[in-house]
């Protein structure tokens, strides 16, 4: 039985992609352990859906957040993972910051180890307004480390094509961050819990309430929208949560609902009439993204409104929703009007077809095929 360590530099509390991959690999006969960062009050050694978890405790965890100290923390993590897991058969490196661990294990301790590099973003420019210096440093590192990877996989076709151009490697496998297939029984939770009348059309934004996701633009859109039948529900958490809550108290067409657990998420999602996924074109990772919330909307069988970015547009346009030509309050209001006039029956038919493609059961096949090619 091949031993796989899946390394991720977060606390592994809400990382659905890493968990789905680990479950799929374990079900296929691999012995899987997720190695993550410890954070109180989480357990150091844990078990999630029969997946073994080791959250590494750092002695430097509570040190200063000074940039130099953060680098020291990172290298303590790298040292502890290499020391503890250098005999693993396969090192699954989630994101660029985990790739160094796999390369050190393979180069200095275990030449037979296989490295799978799982780029969850366009790694070298994954933050809005990132400095050219930061981008160049990450490019330098990725260019040198990626050549040690036995397999590379990523989350959108555009990112895969960029990696081919940047590093002259075979095209990475495409493993989308889609939900597990679920049959939907339509519910009306938002109307019931938030007291939204039946004559209103509910637009839903679910996910992270943070900068770069068009939250402020959506708030401005619904503050000034010339349509009394359109309301929006924000469901999630993050730095802009307080802004959303405050605004929802001032405007009767803006609602806030706290985030819910993954096991009931789609019951809430299907209670909306449309899903909205707005991403600002503020870094290349955002430009080339395919947010998992789009796939959640598809699985919940609701049409979507998305930003005019290449991958999102290609998936949605003319099939399962509307593309907002401009990511502005005016552009979004035009898209909302278009959505309200759309043929709901035709959209639903397309969504039914497309959810049979964009689900984890289909993506799992790509993941397992990639692993079969390692040996």
**Parallel/antiparallel/unpaired status of strands 274-277 and 304-307:** parallel
CA distance 264 to 295: 15
Q: Which of 131, 167, 161, 174 is nearest to 149 (CA)?
A: 167
The chain-wide mean pLDDT, for the chain, equals: 95
pLDDT of residue 27: 97
**What is the pTM for the complete model shown?**
0.93
Would the pLDDT of 261 be above 90?
A: no
Dihedral through CA 60, CA 127, CA 254, CA 13, nearest 10? Answer: -40
Give the residue extent of every domain in the chain.
3-178+360-372, 189-354
Instruction: For residue range 200-209, list pLDDT tens digits in order.
Output: 999 999 999 9
Tell me the sheet residues that pair with 6: 34, 92
Q: Which residues contact 372 (CB under 8 A, 6 or more apart)?
A: none
Alpha-carbon distance 369 to 161, whole Å?
20
**Residue 165 confidence (pLDDT) above 90:** yes
Check residue 283 and give its pLDDT.
Answer: 94
Amino acid 65: pLDDT: 80
Superfamily of domain 189-354: Glycogen Phosphorylase B; (3.40.50.2000)
Domains 3-178+360-372 and 189-354 share a fold: yes
Average of per-residue pLDDT across 164-188: 95
pLDDT grade, residue 112 (50/70/90)?
A: very high
Alpha helix positions (H), 107-156: 132-145
Q: Is the pLDDT of residue 248 over 90?
A: yes
Length of the chain: 375
How far CA 37 is from CA of 12, 17, 82, 134, in Å, comes to: 7, 16, 14, 23
Mean predicted confidence (pLDDT) in 114-138: 95
Residue 69 reports pLDDT greater than 90 = no
pLDDT of residue 8 exceeding 90, the answer is yes
* 338 pLDDT higher than 90: yes
CATH superfamily of 3-178+360-372: Glycogen Phosphorylase B; (3.40.50.2000)
Mean pLDDT of 333-341: 94
């Amino acid at each position: 039985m091949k031993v796989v360590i899946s390394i991720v530099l977060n606390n592994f509390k809400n990382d659905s992609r890493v968990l789905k991959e680990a479950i799929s690999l374990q079900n296929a006969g691999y012995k899987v352990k997720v190695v993550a960062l410890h954070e109180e009050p989480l357990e150091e050694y844990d078990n999630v859906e029969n997946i073994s978890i080791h959250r590494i405790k750092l002695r430097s965890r509570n040190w200063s957040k000074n940039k130099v100290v953060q680098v020291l923390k990172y290298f303590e993590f790298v040292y502890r993972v290499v020391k503890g897991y250098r005999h693993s058969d396969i090192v699954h490196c989630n994101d660029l910051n985990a790739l160094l661990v796999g390369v050190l294990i393979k180069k200095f301790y275990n030449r037979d180890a296989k490295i799978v590099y799982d780029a969850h973003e366009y790694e070298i420019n994954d933050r809005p307004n990132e400095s050219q210096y930061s981008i160049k440093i990450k490019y330098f590192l990725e260019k040198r480390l990626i050549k040690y990877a036995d397999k590379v996989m990523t989350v959108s076709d555009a990112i895969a094509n960029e990696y081919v151009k940047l590093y002259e490697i075979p095209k990475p496998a495409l493993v989308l961050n889609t939900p597990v297939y679920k049959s939907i029984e339509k519910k009306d939770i938002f109307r019931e819990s938030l007291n939204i009348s039946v004559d209103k059309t509910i637009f839903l934004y679910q996910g992270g309430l943070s900068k770069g996701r068009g939250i402020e633009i959506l708030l401005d859109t619904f503050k000034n929208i010339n349509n009394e039948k359109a309301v929006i529900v924000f469901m999630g958490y993050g730095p802009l949560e307080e802004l959303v809550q405050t605004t929802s108290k001032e405007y009767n067409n803006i609602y806030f609902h706290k985030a819910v657990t993954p096991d009931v998420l789609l019951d809430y999602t299907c209670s909306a009439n449309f899903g909205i996924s707005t991403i600002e074109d503020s870094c290349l990772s955002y430009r080339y993204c395919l947010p998992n919330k789009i796939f959640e909307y598809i699985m919940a069988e609701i049409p979507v409104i998305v930003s005019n970015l290449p991958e999102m547009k290609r998936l949605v346009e003319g099939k399962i929703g509307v593309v907002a030509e401009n990511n502005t309050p005016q552009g979004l209001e035009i898209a909302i009007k278009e959505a309200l006039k759309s043929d709901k029956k035709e959209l639903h038919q397309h969504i039914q077809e497309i959810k049979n493609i964009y689900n984890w059961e289909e993506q799992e096949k790509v993941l397992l095929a990639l692993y079969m090619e390692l040996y």
